[in-house]
Amino acid sequence: MKKVLVLNGPNLNLLGLREPALYGHTTLPDVEALCRDAGQKLGVEIECFQSNSEGALIDRIHEAGRGYKDGTVLGCVFNPGAYTHTSVALHDAIKGVDGLPVIELHISNVHAREAFRHHSFISPAAAGIVVGFGVDGYVIALEGLVRRHARQAAAT
Ligand code: CA2
């Protein structure tokens, strides 16, 4: 069974504990359980990782890139948190792993928020983007990733 990495960036460990008006009441462990559930239905193994550190996120993308090359990893669902709007290094990491499909995911509709959230360094490197569906976005992104893989596998 292929693996999908569900990667969460800075402060997402606070999910469900603060700012419920923006991000809802679901905690990060709840989100991870939701993803594992969806993975079971979609026939993929889910690996979850959250970090507040840019370097740790980059290391995980590199590791997933090696997994993609050896056929064990299907792709990555990534909520980069505020690094979305600041990180050339994460952009370069995704570009650098060459081929690993990364779906960028935001719980809130970043385009309906402050102007500084409207630009993403991740989007140009992403295979797809899911924005504004709350935590259901993780399930939507996982399904999109698996459907994309099936479509490409059928075409080759
Ligand atoms: O909407 C999203 O998923 C974001 O990636 C969340 C980031 C924000 O900086 C992006 O612009 C959009 C913030 C994640 C912090 O999450 C918290 C959750 C609860 C309490 C405080 C922060």
Q: What is the pLDDT of residue 71?
A: 96
Q: Which of 141, 122, 121 is nearest to 131 (CA)?
A: 141
pTM to 2 decimal places: 0.97
Q: What is the pLDDT of residue 73?
A: 98
- Check pLDDT > 90 for residue 55: yes
Q: Kindly indicate the confidence band of residue 110, based on its pLDDT and cuts at 50, 70 and 90.
A: very high
Helices (H), 43-135: 54-70, 88-96
Tell me which residue has its CA closest to atom 6 in ligand 1. 81
**Which of 6, 8, 12 is the pocket-test mutation for ligand 1 (most atoms within 8 Å of CB)?**
12
| CATH code where residue 96 lies | 3.40.50.9100
Query: Ligand 1 site: residues with CB under 6 angstroms?
Result: 11-12, 14-15, 18-19, 23, 79, 81-82, 84, 106-108, 110, 117
Total domains present in the chain: 1
Pairing of strands 102-106, 45-50: unpaired
Residue 37 CA to residue 44 CA, distance in Å, equals: 10
Mean pLDDT over residues 41-58, rounded? 98
- Separation of 145 CA from ligand 1 center, angstroms? 22
Q: What is the pLDDT of residue 22?
A: 87
Quick check: helix, strand or coil at residue 61?
Answer: helix
User: Residue 137 sits in which domain range?
Assistant: 3-155
Torsion angle of alpha carbons 146, 87, 92, 50, nearest 10°? -40
